[in-house]
Amino acid sequence: MPALATATVTAALVVRVLRSRHRRFLHPDGRSFTGDLEIWGAGEQTGAELLDRPGRHPVTVRISKGAGTAAGRADVLGVAVRVHGPVAGRRHDLLFSTCGRGRLLRHVPVPRRGFDTTYGSIQPYRTGSGRTFQLVVRPDPEGTALGRTLGSVVSAAARDDARLMLVLAEKDAERTVGKVRFGAALSPTTDAALAFDPIRNVPADLYPTGLIHGTRALAYRLSQRWRGAAPATANPAAVARTALPG
């Protein structure tokens, strides 16, 4: 790479890091909402209580743009879902990025212009029974369209008809197991304080697995401390489980 181009890229990265001192380095632009997750069960037992037991759980949902491009411009878009457990302080963070469809392309992050698309966990999850699969969310075709901007997502949620379907994707098969409903929009201050951690905020029977996820544990910790957000409670066992081969 020519010296001028290298210097330009380096300068851009330095500016991005400095700006992330008070905001997220990745997915800086987003909107957060209250909501609920309705699970109607996976049919065949998966070994994960969240997916196997029908029920309804309160959640916090965040929709975001990975690089923070201008409204309507292509970006790797994100969905974060925090499932609040029955015990105060217990939470389960699920993170998804826009990806391709099908057995192979579900592993590939793909930039999209609009929010009405497919989001995947990219790498697999492992359950208490040792079963592995990916999780996917996509808009409910019978719900209000999310549109192409964060503002349009807020408008869709305000109509009380914005929903995401939760899908279990295993090899070539997909099975819809639940639905996320958007609730009220949260304040910018609340959104800025949210610190998702899909490595530590997980139960022992449904967690991401593989070296890629394992290397993210330190990155989440450092990024949250750098921007002044309260990181997740230490969970060495969860970090160790995640680092195991997928």
What's the CA dihedral at 210, 212, 213, 217 to 10 degrees?
130
| Domain regions of the chain by residue span | 26-242
How many other C-beta atoms can be found within 10 angstroms of the C-beta atom of residue 163?
A: 21
What is the C-alpha separation between 95 and 229, in angstroms, rounded?
18
The bridge status of strand 173-185 relative to strand 163-170 is antiparallel
Token pair, residue 171, equals: 């090899």
Residue 16 scores a pLDDT above 60: no
Residue 20: CB partners within 8 Å, gap ≥ 6? 28, 223, 226, 227
Could you read off the pLDDT of 78-130 as tens digits, one per residue? 999 999 986 656 899 999 999 988 777 888 899 999 999 999 998 899 999 99
Task: Provide the CATH topology of domain 26-242.
Answer: Catalase HpII,  Chain A, domain 1 (2.40.180)
How many other C-beta atoms can be found within 10 angstroms of the C-beta atom of residue 161?
A: 14
Q: How far apart are the first and last CA of the chain?
A: 35
Could you read off the pLDDT of 135-177 as tens digits, one per residue? 999 999 999 999 999 999 999 999 988 999 999 999 889 999 9
Residue 21 scores a pLDDT above 70: no
Could you read off the pLDDT of 68-77 as tens digits, one per residue? 888 889 999 9
Q: Which of 184, 133, 177, 142 has its CA nearest to residue 163? A: 142
How confident is the model at residue 89, as a pLDDT? 64
